[in-house]
A = this chain, B = another copy of it.
Amino acid sequence: MKRIGMLTSGGDCQALNAAMRGVVKTMMNSDEEVEVYGFLDGYRGLIYGNYRMLQSQDFSGILTKGGTILGSSRTPFKTITDPDENGLDKVKAMKQNYYKLNLDCLVILGGNGTHKTANLLRKEGLNVVTLPKTIDNDLYGTDMTFGFQSAVDIATNCIDCIHTTASSHSRVFIVEVMGHKVGWLTLNAGMASGADIILIPEIPYDIKKIADAINKRKKNGSRFTIIAVAEGAISKEDAKLSKKEYQKKLKDSKYPSISYEIADKIKQVTGEEVRVTVPGHTQRGGSPCPYDRVFASRLGSEAAKLILDGEYGFMVGYKNREIVKVPLEEVAGKLKYVDPDSSIVKEAKMLGISFGD
């Protein structure tokens, strides 16, 4: 008999349901008797004891469904050890609910922040298995996270649409792709859609190099230029600021997001008309792509196997096309960045894509 608690935390993404279905179907297909408690709205459900018991039929038909049947919320790691507004010790509360339900293990699906808290719970003595969920693909210790490929598909479709309209008019188009800290999503969606310029946080840009790329295209007879800009794109000058200084600068900015600032700069330097599109949260939504469905199902299945084998304290990740277990302490608090010298960036440059550097 195994009693597991499950929760999804942080910004939602595609294939959360597929992953949970994978865990539960595998456990229910095993010889072990299983009870599954779903905590609602992320860690908040674990803190306040808000949960419901889940049955086999709760997982029927959700393989292709976006979002999360458990709901989610952002519970910042920074404040997790602080008491809540009523003085409740949140970590203690989570432990109490864990023990009250007599759980064998918590299955936690989340991204970077979520993993920090999961690792804290592990250190507090709870059995934890985690699954790497994020459209950013920035989790350390795994080649891939689920949600990523689905988000690439949506962002790519978006730039595809802009492509046909851009080629009809003579304009510069910016599409702002999600990613505050890392550029995987922008890099892949940009390459997939034939973007001419790609700006990512890991490669600070020089506005003059961007202008050069636009002007070179114009000289070669191209009517338009498409720029894929990560939310966290940063100029070479701004990259020299301290984190604090830069955050203040962003906060005081008159622009709703960095893309609008870049658009203005380009207009000033080149005289070109620039249009900005912000697909925003659509990148987290919709049915997971087939790649993510298979991948999340496989991860879920192997997570269940770990639990059935009594192996705890791991993130289930992906390395060299095999599902692997990675110790949580190796993962928590680290990000996987795009290496400016990696082969994929070099290949993109060989294809003629400018990174503004």
Contacts and interface: CB of A to CB of B under 8 A. Distances in A.
Q: How many copies of this chain?
A: 4
Given A72-B168, A169-B72, A277-B282, A351 B160 contact: no
Nearest to A143: B321
Contacts of A282: 158, 161-162, 165, 277, 279
A35 interface: no
Given A256-B260, A293-B191, A284 B149 contact: no
B320 A343 contact: no
A164 B278 contact: no
Interface string A299-322: 001101100000000000000111
A86 interface: no
A322 B351 contact: no
A157 interface: yes
A170 B74 CA distance: 11
A64 B164 CA distance: 11
B322 A160 contact: no
Contacts of A88: none
A164 B66 contact: yes
Given A173-B281, A275-B281, A67 B168 contact: yes
A75 B15 CA distance: 39
A12 B30 CA distance: 35
A108 B245 CA distance: 53
Contacts of A333: none
A168 B347 CA distance: 28
Q: Residue among A168, A305, A351 with the most chain B CB within 10 A?
A: A168
A71 interface: yes
Interface stretch (A21-29, A111-119, A121-129, A200-208): A21-29
A350 interface: yes
A91 interface: no
Given A162-B285, A193-B293, 14 more contacts: A8-B168, A25-B350, A41-B170, A63-B193, A64-B163, A71-B223, A73-B169, A149-B290, A158-B279, A164-B286, A165-B281, A192-B291, A277-B279, A279-B282
Interface of A: 8, 12, 14, 16, 22, 25-26, 29-30, 41, 61, 63-68, 71-73, 143, 149, 152-154, 156-158, 160-165, 167-170, 173, 188-189, 191-194, 223, 256, 260, 275-287, 289-291, 293-294, 297-298, 301-302, 304-305, 320-323, 343-344, 347, 350-352
